[in-house]
């Protein structure tokens, strides 16, 4: 059965007067045969420590799944030497790509379109013995100094995401994720139970 481990809890904090210090939640999903890192982030040191705690090296990862292409989410993808990268539409191996049909190949992991943060944003559905995890990337996130409220009303209300390209689509994506998930792993902040 699938196993989910948060390697790096995503963080976002103000830096200087006009910038951010941020790296997304990096998540390890293990099937019976395949190791997948979701949103490897930008902080290679923390990612390496997280993999090491699981007894893994970068070369042990088969796929990297990207919820979206902001650099604080995908910057480290090139650190995996034999990886196949998966985004909302395709699987990339070297300079070749092919459509994936809505799942990571050779797994039962479904990819769903969750636009709003970016138009091409997607999330990953991971069934486990504990319940269904949704690795939601930019659908949810909290700055380090922000209280992480996870009651349904707080998650669905008109809480804007300053980086979102479509606030209305983002709220629909939040609703979609909450209808599927038992547990949500946000782009920034702690995993929460629905």
pLDDT of amino acid 156: 74
Domains of the chain: 3-193 (3.60.15.10)
pLDDT at 14: 82
- Containing H/E element for 190? none
CB atoms within 10 A of CB 78: 11
What is the distance between the alpha carbons of residues 88 and 12, in angstroms, rounded to a whole number? 24
- Report whether 185 contacts 136 (CB < 8 A): yes
Q: What is the pLDDT of residue 160?
A: 67
pLDDT of residue 161: 72
Tens-place pLDDT, residues 137-194 = 999 999 888 889 888 777 776 666 767 788 899 999 999 999 999 999 999 999 999 9
How high is the mean pLDDT of the chain? 93
Chain segment 56-67, per-residue pLDDT in tens: 999 999 999 999
pLDDT bracket for residue 1 (50, 70, 90): very high
Q: Which residue has the higher pLDDT, 37 or 144?
A: 37
Read off the pLDDT of residues 111-143 as tens digits, 9 standing for 90 and up. Answer: 999 999 889 999 999 999 999 999 999 999 998
Report the C-alpha gap between 176 and 178 in whole angstroms: 6
- Cα 165 to Cα 169: distance, rounded to the nearest angstrom: 9
């Amino acid at each position: 059965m699938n196993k989910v481990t948060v390697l790096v809890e995503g963080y976002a904090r103000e830096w200087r007067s006009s910038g951010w210090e941020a790296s997304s939640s990096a998540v390890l999903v293990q099937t019976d045969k395949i190791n997948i890192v979701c949103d490897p982030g930008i902080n290679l040191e923390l990612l390496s420590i997280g993999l090491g705690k699981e007894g893994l090296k970068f070369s042990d990862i088969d796929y990297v799944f990207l919820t979206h292409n902001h650099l604080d989410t995908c910057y480290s993808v090139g650190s995996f030497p034999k990886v196949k990268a998966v985004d909302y539409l395709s699987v990339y191996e070297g300079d070749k790509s092919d459509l994936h049909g809505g799942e990571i190949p050779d797994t039962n992991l479904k990819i769903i379109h969750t636009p709003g943060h970016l138009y091409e944003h997607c999330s990953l559905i991971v069934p486990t013995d504990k319940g269904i995890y949704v690795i939601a990337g930019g659908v949810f996130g909290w700055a380090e100094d922000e209280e992480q409220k996870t009651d349904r009303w707080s998650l669905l209300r008109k809480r804007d995401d300053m980086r979102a390209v479509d606030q209305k689509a983002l709220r629909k994506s939040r609703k979609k994720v909450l209808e599927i998930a038992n547990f949500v792993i946000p782009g920034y902040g702690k995993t929460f139970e629905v």
